[in-house]
Amino acid sequence: MSELLNMSLVEAADSVASGAVSSVELTKAALLAGESAQTRLNCFIDLWPERALKSAAHADAQRIAGASLGPLHGVPLAHKDMFYRAGEISTCGSKIRADFRPTVTATVLERLDSAGAVTLGTLNMAEFATGPTGHNVHYGACRNPWNSDYITGGSSSGSGAATAARLVFGALGSDTGGSVRLPAAACGLFGMKATQSRVSRYGAMGLSFSLDNIGPLARTARDCARMLGVIAGFDELDSTSSRYPTVNYEAATLNPDIKGLRIGVPRAYFRDEADAQVLDAADNALRVLESLGAVIVDVDIPFADVMARIGGPISGIEALALHRAWMRERPQDYGPQTLARHLSNLAVPAADYLAAVQARPRIIREFVDTVFSQCDVLQAPVFPTAIPTIAHTDVGAGQGFEQMLSALTRNTRPFNFLALPGLSTPAGFCRNGLPLSFQLLGRPFAEAKLLRVGAAYEAATQWTTAPPPSAD
């Protein structure tokens, strides 16, 4: 692997801006690494070498001409194949959309383009963003760069694998039940699901309009913050995007001070089914945070008895509403897991959906008032167990799939219903060499605070500096 690709996103942007390295050099190295890794990791759906090199050459010309440079100027990125770019195929990981060419460009892509990013291509994902493992019957399973027998997590599987393998400097994913945080955790990355409405969803494939979020996966907290800073903020094309002000997220990661900050440890639910390795990693992280001045407190969790089911009717019914026409007309073109999930949602009563939607603000208020009166940031595992293998999770579309889905996403799904921000944070490695992680959760719009804690922990542990073996 070229040493150029081992730089962080911020270092890469700084190097291009200073002229120490050209965007063309970076892009050529990334394309070469991407093509080489594809047979091993299967993380790209499409690579755009000509377009990327043209974009990189333009970025270099702008720098030489003394143009004002954006915070991602000349930096190669790629994204989950569900963010529309007018005229370019966006498969959404599906056969149904194998030839779909949207007529609009997603606001998040427009903002990354404006910040100077170079797009290498499109990344693998679960079919229509519906699976937590990285399996895809149409495009093949995406593989974990730390050990290619293991899952990447999903549904933003390619975003996790490509960023961790140093093929790109960062990637966007989407998170409806954990699909940014899970692949970030499985691949040893930072992954931010911001507050619901913080990032525009215009021009992105919809899955559940109440729960969908777009967020960055990156190797460092600061990289993650820079990407969030570019994409966050009100968008008049998305009427649900928040007008609440954004802040300088990246500044929160510089010299992060967490003295006196209360880190909450959940007394119920989120640690209940975690295995020993996961709990050890979470506890070790708490000790590090305490050594940095944080105050660790045990926290009561309201609604613990219903947390596993909370939000289920919303995600299921909203996805069903979007897919119902295709389910009638092209059921044979769905993968068996995706079709089975939609079919099972036909049994959810509309009243359950409406009741969940109605109860949501009340539940959010009670959760936030209870939890964040006791602490400033909540810590919880992302995956409750060590990262499983691809073979172990290749369970077809029956009851085993539903059980696996529930187990893998039990700690991430609730925060989509609760609309709260969550930052997946790397926390070392299992005995089998796969990454460990935890997530940091906060009040609405507390993204900077989460990034501050994540950056402080990262600086003290350095878990993110070494590349995975497959990137050597």
Catalytic residue (choose from 155, 159, 242, 424): 155
Distance from CA of residue 55 to its chain's centroid?
25
Report the residue number, 4 or 368, with the smaller CB distance to other proteins.
368
Report the residue number, 51 or 443, with the smaller CB distance to other proteins.
443
**Catalytic site includes residue 157:** no
Q: Which amino acid is at 306?
A: V
**Catalytic site includes residue 315:** no
- Cα separation, 5 vs 372, whole angstroms: 39
**Catalytic site includes residue 406:** no
Largest separation between any pair of C-alpha atoms in the chain: 61
- Cα separation, 205 vs 97, whole angstroms: 11
- Cα separation, 402 vs 274, whole angstroms: 18
324 binds other proteins (CB under 8 A): yes
196 binds other proteins (CB under 8 A): yes
SS3 378: strand
Distances (CA, A) of 126 to 186, 338, 439: 15, 9, 22
Rg of the chain's alpha carbons, rounded to an integer? 20
What residues between 363 and 392 interact with other proteins by CB under 8 A? 364-365, 368-369, 372
110 binds other proteins (CB under 8 A): no
User: Which span sits near other proteins by CB under 8 A: 182-190, 196-204, 338-346, 424-432?
Assistant: 196-204
Picking from 300, 303, 266, 282, the residue whose alpha carbon sits closest to that of residue 417 is 303
DSSP assignment of 219-232, as one string? SSHHHHHHHHHHHB
210 binds other proteins (CB under 8 A): yes
For residues 220 to 259, the per-residue mask of contacts with other proteins, x marking binding by CB under 8 A and - elsewhere, is: ------------------xxx-x-xx-xx--xx-------
Report the residue number, 162 or 451, with the smaller CB distance to other proteins.
451
Q: Which amino acid is at 96?
A: I
Tokens of residue 258, six digits:
């967490």
Using the rule CB under 8 A, which residue among 14, 443, 460, 461 binds other proteins? 443
- Cα separation, 233 vs 170, whole angstroms: 19
For residues 39 to 78, the per-residue mask of contacts with other proteins, x marking binding by CB under 8 A and - elsewhere, is: ----------------------------------------
Binding site for other proteins (CB under 8 A): 84, 92, 100, 102, 128, 195-197, 201-202, 205-207, 209-210, 238-240, 242, 244-245, 247-248, 251-252, 317-318, 321-326, 349-351, 353-355, 357-358, 360-361, 364-365, 368-369, 372, 419, 442-449, 452
Active site residues: 80, 155, 179
